[in-house]
């Protein structure tokens, strides 16, 4: 396996799982058919500009292991607390929240992985919700409105 392939594999491993030491990384790589020593991995870690923190190794720009959330609040919970209103434009929904609450609301929605939602984008007090089409946006709007109360 070439160095480049190994680097790609390291990035994947680091993004997907918690890796607490270079030795652990070495063992994970060995399981994937890539046998190198800790010295090489030390150089790789430096060259890939990985960070090591309380949760192990992470890529630059926070692509690492966020604090494990003991419990993700549900959409219903966050909307009853922070949701203000939903408006629809074709396949898009604009969800207003209280100030600063858009991120947790978007996270909660993402967590549900509803098939009627293609993706969400959060500002400060606004979440943009993209649906596949107008019809499903309508039904999602009704659903969210019920949750807001």
Verify binding: residue 49, DNA, rule CB under 7 A.
no
Pick from 11, 40, 48, 59 the residue near DNA by CB under 7 A: 40
Candidate segments 23-31, 34-42, 124-132, 138-146, binder of a copy of itself by CB under 8 A = 124-132
| Partner interacting with residue 121 (select from a copy of itself, DNA, none; CB below 5-8 Å by kind) | a copy of itself
Verify binding: residue 90, DNA, rule CB under 7 A.
no
Pick from 16, 35, 123, 132 the residue near DNA by CB under 7 A: 35
Please name the residues in contact with 41: beta carbons below 8 A apart, sequence gap of 6 or more: 10, 22, 25, 26, 29
Count of positions on this chain that bind a copy of itself (CB under 8 A): 53
Encoded tokens for 94: 């604009």
E strand spans, 9-144? 51-53, 56-58, 83-89, 92-97, 119-122, 126-130
The answer to whether 81 and 99 have CB atoms below 8 angstroms apart is no
Candidate segments 21-29, 32-40, 44-52, 140-148, binder of a copy of itself by CB under 8 A = 44-52
Taking Cα atoms as reference points, which of 134, 133, 123 lies closest to residue 96? 123
What are the backbone dihedrals phi and psi of residue 72, each rounded to the nearest 5 degrees, phi first?
Answer: -80, 125
| Partner interacting with residue 35 (select from a copy of itself, DNA, none; CB below 5-8 Å by kind) | DNA
């Amino acid at each position: 396996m070439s160095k480049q392939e190994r680097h790609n594999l390291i990035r994947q491993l680091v993004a997907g799982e918690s890796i607490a030491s270079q030795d652990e990384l070495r063992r994970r790589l060995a399981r994937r058919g890539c046998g190198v020593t800790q010295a090489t991995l030390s150089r790789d870690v430096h060259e890939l500009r990985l960070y090591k923190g309380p949760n192990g190794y992470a890529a630059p720009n926070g692509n690492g292991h966020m604090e494990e959330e003991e419990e993700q609040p549900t959409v219903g919970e966050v909307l009853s607390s922070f949701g203000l209103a939903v408006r629809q434009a074709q396949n898009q929904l604009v969800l207003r929240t209280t100030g600063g609450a858009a991120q947790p609301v978007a996270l909660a929605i993402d967590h549900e992985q509803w098939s009627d939602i293609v993706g969400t984008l959060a500002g400060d007090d606004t979440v943009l919700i993209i649906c596949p089409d107008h019809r499903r946006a309508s039904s999602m709007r009704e659903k969210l409105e019920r949750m807001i109360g």
